[in-house]
Amino acid sequence: MKKYLIILLFVTCSTFYIQSQPKPWIDFNKNGLIDTYENPEAEIDKRVSNLLSLMSITEKIQLLTEVAPPVSRLGISKYDHGNEALHGVVRPGKFTVFPQSIGLAATWNSDLIFQVSSAVSDEARARWNELEQGKNQKEKYSDLLAF
């Protein structure tokens, strides 16, 4: 009996010690629960499921619109989904224009299509950085990382 009490005491003390250690990625929400979506070490499916479980139906629907408002309580910034890149970054600004996607597909040249796609993504990333990751957005469609 004494042996079992010592083991129980050891397990209990160990549990409290482990739980008391700081973990830099853990944020406790107002209910004292860990939000997995903020843990970069967690599996992506678990992060997404956790984030969706914390969102209201209204918040989820609002994120489906062209100009999605922020969800401040969860740290989600505003987002503009209104851009396309079928043959380059279209707007706003001056960018390289490539042939329409049907023309690129007709080449059957996967290396060429990869090079074109890389150039488009490089230009989009450069514009995104120029606009300070969307913080300096002055025109509609300048949140350029969703195509």
Within 13 Å and on the Cβ side, how many CA atoms surround 5? 2
Q: Check residues 143 and 61 and name the one with the higher pLDDT.
A: 61
Contacts of 25 (CB under 8 A, 6+ apart): 38, 39, 40, 41
101 and 76 belong to one structural domain:
no
Cα–Cα distance for residue pair 83/89, rounded to 1 Å:
8
- At residue 96, the 3 state secondary structure works out as coil
Q: Check residues 145 and 17 and name the one with the higher pLDDT.
A: 145
The per-residue pLDDT for 1 is: 62
Contacts of 141 (CB under 8 A, 6+ apart): 80, 82, 83, 91, 92
Domain that holds residue 66: 28-80
34 and 74 belong to one structural domain:
yes
The per-residue pLDDT for 35 is: 75
99 found inside a domain: yes
114 and 68 belong to one structural domain:
no
Q: Check residues 116 and 34 and name the one with the higher pLDDT.
A: 116
16 found inside a domain: no
Contact between 60 and 52 under an 8 Å Cβ cutoff? The reply is yes
100 and 136 belong to one structural domain:
yes
What is the total count of domains within the chain? 2
Question: End of a domain among 42, 63, 80?
Answer: 80
Contact between 131 and 137 under an 8 Å Cβ cutoff? The reply is yes
38: number of Cβ within 10 Å: 16
129 and 89 belong to one structural domain:
yes
Q: 12-49: per-residue pLDDT in tens?
A: 554 444 444 444 444 555 555 567 888 888 889 988 98
Contact between 123 and 144 under an 8 Å Cβ cutoff? The reply is no
pTM of the predicted protein model: 0.49
111 and 136 belong to one structural domain:
yes
76 and 86 belong to one structural domain:
no
